[in-house]
């Protein structure tokens, strides 16, 4: 019998940005910059609709099975700027039935 050494848990964090009421907006977008953020929701499935200034980030946490001991583990997750891609992702899809024949 084999046992797993690690387990995964996946969820979507809904993070909302707060913009200041006063100050000059960005000339390119017409919006004021995000001043602070907060987590407003945690969902098991991807949210169908988000409000303005909200993003949904898929997060997978991989834990060793030992983490489920009676202690309370904690983690800090930092997302570097180079991992954020604001451009739409385009994918070319091929007909799978043609690939089989």
- Domain boundaries defined on the chain: 6-100
> What does pLDDT average to over the chain?
79
pLDDT for 98? 57
Tens of pLDDT, residues 37-64: 999 999 999 999 999 899 999 988 888 8
Question: 23: burial class by Cβ within 10 Å (0-12, 13-18, 19+)?
Answer: exposed
Tens of pLDDT, residues 72-101: 667 777 777 777 766 655 656 565 555 554
Neighbours of 69 (CB within 10 A): 8
Closest CA to 65 of 1, 8, 3, 5: 5
């Amino acid at each position: 019998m084999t046992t797993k050494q690690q387990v995964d848990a996946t969820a979507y964090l809904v993070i909302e940005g707060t913009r200041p009421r006063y100050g000059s907006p960005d000339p390119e977008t017409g919006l004021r910059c995000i001043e602070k953020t907060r987590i407003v929701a945690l969902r098991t499935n991807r949210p169908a609709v988000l409000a303005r200034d909200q993003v949904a980030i898929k997060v997978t946490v991989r834990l060793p099975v030992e983490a489920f001991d009676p202690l309370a583990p904690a983690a800090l997750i930092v997302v570097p700027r180079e991992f954020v891609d604001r451009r739409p992702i385009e994918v070319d899809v091929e007909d799978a039935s043609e690939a089989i024949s």
